[in-house]
Structure 1
């Protein structure tokens, strides 16, 4: 499962993301520079700092601490785009943020993981994302996305027909990956769930709140701020699990992402309902420019 099925599962998830992307998604930053810049600062700078503070506050053991930092460094997943659609956020902006974050994470994710390994001193000198393993991260993140974009560029009709079943498959795969991780490591998870439930719940809630509140503080339009909240608050847990188990060969490090993946759907749904209810009191012309 770890060496074969997990990378394949992530490949399908990232391929599905690629089917939704066009080159315009990478250039949309020019049309919404403030929203994109604020969201990226939150995702790449503020969120790892918040996670680091939570790790110290909760006193996690070194390997679990690095697992939390790995999760914080992971970009938003395709489920963030789905939640943006469900709760009437700016889906186009969300897709653009996911695309840009996925590219940037090829550099930032290994950097955060390696710095975390040095800081928390896991006692295992073999752990780390050196050049060879960094190239693995590059391959499992970007190659499937590029393949999906290529399919869309060659035939938008085929991509449109494949997008929905691949998206459904991605959600099913995420559930199976998390369930498989939990079942196959039940004893290890049982020993650590008390440590992880609290911090992952707080991290998820804070991520969503930061992703919405900080853009609003900088006068980002409400629908765009909500898209940023889902992008920042719904990490690609599958990617974190695959890197921990397949690239770093450490199951324990994948446990924070596994627990987080279960909780994030409930937190994101509750957050979306809360914000959506507030939006309903606005007149229909509120978003007309």
Structure 2
């Protein structure tokens, strides 16, 4: 299997299947929660849609990244969280309904916001002058086909099926799509490992710094606004965990620039390190509630 066929054909189909699985897991009530808890949703969306791209730009200005690596980092900051963030929210015992709502809304916005803002980013980095451009409507159409359409299809299928059928089918679909996504990421890693930057490189530093600083920002901001603890955990995950698969699809399949997709590929792999540390920390805190109480008293 060639790397180009894997990136330009298999990856979009696997992403579509992941979004279909997410649509199957959505209910109408997931969106009505926005009306009941608008503050939590607005905080999460503001951090993900506005603060995260600005944070990526801060790193681009501070670190001596090559132009295409900088573009890859900015591209990662523009994609939604995806099903992976929902899984991690579940593991940290976060507000899963909030996580799903944030993923769904960001996923609906991304096809329209990503090509527009990424086009500006390419101009600001001076890449547009070198012939690198992202056609807006063509990109919107392809992203809609891979993200929004499968998600809506999944929601429609859920309405047609009995609830017990969905309860039986959904775990199988999630496992299948999860395994397929991991397999594609590993295959892409193996196919492009000779082009990936070394482990000790500025690109690796940028990827880890973006993930850690995004999670820290999400945690501190939500906590200082005195949101419920489970919402704080969910927002922390949602801001840091990005659907790198969409960023890779834009780079590999739409722009056909493998060198642009290397940083998103690196992010998809390395983001698991700080996120799993956060999972272990949350599990440890939940098992030692007295430590949490003592910590709160010291902070106060």
Asked if the contact 1:113/1:129 (under 8 Å) is kept, the reply is no
Q: CA deviation at 1:190?
A: 4.0
Unaligned regions of 5+ residues in structure 1, if any? none
Asked if the contact 2:111/2:139 (under 8 Å) is kept, the reply is no
Indicate the residue corresponding to 1:90 in structure 2: 95
Indicate the residue corresponding to 1:270 in structure 2: 277
CA distance in 1, matches of 2:169, 2:222: 33
Match for 1:129 among 135, 138, 143?
135
Asked if the contact 2:23/2:155 (under 8 Å) is kept, the reply is yes
CA distance in 2, matches of 1:193, 1:266: 15
Q: CA deviation at 1:79?
A: 1.3
Instruction: String of CA shifts for 1:110-134, please: whole Å, max 9, x gaps.
Output: 1221111111122442521321222
Indicate the residue corresponding to 2:77 in structure 1: 72
Change in Cα spacing, 1:146 to 1:253, as seen in structure 2 (3 Å) is: same
Instruction: String of CA shifts for 1:72-96, please: whole Å, max 9, x gaps.
Output: 0100111111111122111111111
**TM-score of the superposition, structure 2-length normalised?**
0.89
Match for 1:142 among 145, 148, 153?
148
CA distance in 1, matches of 2:204, 2:258: 17
Secondary structure of the structure 2 residue equivalent to 1:220: coil
Match for 2:238 among 228, 231, 242?
231
Secondary structure of the structure 1 residue equivalent to 2:237: helix
**TM-score of the superposition, structure 1-length normalised?**
0.92
Instruction: String of CA shifts for 1:105-158, please: whole Å, max 9, x gaps.
Output: 122211221111111122442521321222111221101111111111111333
- Where do residues 143-162 of structure 1 align in structure 2 (5 Å cutoff)? 143-155=149-161, 156-162=163-169
CA distance in 2, matches of 1:240, 1:174: 14
Asked if the contact 1:208/1:271 (under 8 Å) is kept, the reply is no
Secondary structure of the structure 1 residue equivalent to 2:109: helix
Indicate the residue corresponding to 1:178 in structure 2: 185
Superposition RMSD on alpha carbons, in Å? 1.8
Asked if the contact 1:129/1:248 (under 8 Å) is kept, the reply is no
Secondary structure of the structure 1 residue equivalent to 2:217: helix
CA distance in 2, matches of 1:192, 1:110: 30
Change in Cα spacing, 1:162 to 1:52, as seen in structure 2 (3 Å) is: same
Indicate the residue corresponding to 1:259 in structure 2: 266
Indicate the residue corresponding to 2:298 in structure 1: none
Secondary structure of the structure 2 residue equivalent to 1:73: coil
